[in-house]
Structure formats: structure tokens, C-alpha cells
Chain A
Amino acid sequence: AQRVTQPEKLLSVFKGAPVELKCNYSYSGSPELFWYVQYSRQRLQLLLRHISRESIKGFTADLNKGETSFHLKKPFAQEEDSAMYYCALLNNAGNMLTFGGGTRLMVKP
């Protein structure tokens, strides 16, 4: 069975500090991973896909198959990054996501 674990429920950093939100997965096939974000009073939305190797709002995420991790990183956190972040894994059929428990990021001024 596929599983996604986000070990930190809350991560608090100061503005300008680096931030790393951890995500670990268990999956038997070749994983397709995503990060979703939910800002206050907004709906959940896609932040980035690992396959695209993109950087969105300064965030990047690298898939490490050896460590089965897909940590989200940003070198300099901004106050507007404060939000709930979810790591998600796509199933074999490509039509369903398994979400982690989420990490709330708080960026203090």
C-alpha cells in the first residue's frame, strides 16, 4: 500500500531563514509526487510536481528514491509562505492521490 508521511505538524521559522518541509513515502513502483498548498482562507492548490523539476515561488523539491523522500525547500522564507503544505503521491492508475498529514508552516517577521 502506498503511504505518505510528513513528520512535522508545525514548522516555525523566521523570515529570511531557510525552510525544509519533510516528506517521506512508501511505494512499490516509480513514484509521481506533488506538493499542494493551502493558504489561509483559500482552497488547496497545486504548488509543484516533481516530474516538472520546476521552482514555484522559490520552492523546489527533489525526489530522492534512495531515501524515499521528497522534501520541499526554500532558501529564504517569506511571511506570505505561511500556509498548510501537503505532500501527495499518485497511484499506479494515475487517477488518485494519497496525501500526507500536512505541515503547517509559520514564518515569523
Chain B
Amino acid sequence: NAGVTQTPKFRVLKTGQSMTLLCAQDMNHEYMYWYRQDPGMGLRLIHYSVGEGTTAKGEVPDGYNVSRLKKQNFLLGLESAAPSQTSVYFCASSYELGWSYEQYFGPGTRLTVT
């Protein structure tokens, strides 16, 4: 099991460019999440999905779009990158609800927007 994988690991974009981050999980999890991690602000939820074909906004969705066409994949898109989107992006997935709930995280993607 690879768990949760993210592609790419690093990326540098110029302001206004677009890109897509790919998250894949091989654990048959229903729920998938995209976070951004910024110093002092912890992890903030961008978008999430409760199943194939569904997406929902999280805490900081502006400037991002997502798609969940296949259960195992969750894509995060930046249509027109801005320097404020420089961050480390983490994908996570989970399946259990309630007290045994656990999110499994990917290794992260470090994005720099110049």
C-alpha cells in the first residue's frame, strides 16, 4: 500500500499561471481533503469530498477548484496563481467516522508563486 501520494512534490509558478495538484489514495477511502499549511496558521481546509463525484468548500476555498471524478483521486487546481498561494499543500483521506476517525496524510507539495 502506497497510502496517500501527491504529485508533484515541489513546484514554482509565476503569478497568473495555472496548475493542478494530484492526490491519490489506494485505501478505498470515501473522504478526501485538501489543506494548506502556513507558518503559525496550522492546517486550513481548502476543499473536501465525501465521495466520488462530490466536492465541498472548506475554510479557505477562494482561488482553488477541485474535482473527484474517481474515488481514489482528488485534484486541486489553481487557475491563476497568486503569491498568497505560496504554501505547503497536504492531501488527506479517511473512511471511519466517529471515535475511530483518522485522517491519513500525503507527504505534501511545496508550492512557490513568484
Sample of 26 A–B contacts (CB below 8 Å) = A6-B42, A32-B99, A43-B105, A43-B107, A43-B108, A44-B43, A44-B92, A46-B102, A49-B99, A49-B100, A49-B102, A90-B101, A94-B97, A95-B31, A95-B50, A96-B33, A96-B45, A96-B48, A96-B58, A97-B103, A98-B45, A99-B35, A99-B43, A101-B40, A101-B41, A101-B42
Top 4 A-B pairs, shortest CB-CB distance: A94-B97, A101-B42, A51-B99, A99-B43
Q: Closest approach, in angstroms, between the C-beta of A2 and any C-beta of chain B?
A: 11
Q: In the docked arrangement, what's the CA distance between A51 and B100, Å? A: 9
Residues of B within 8 A of A (CB): 4, 31, 33, 35, 40-45, 48, 50, 58, 90, 92, 94, 97-103, 105-108
In the bound assembly, the distance between CA atoms of A20 and B58 in angstroms comes to 30
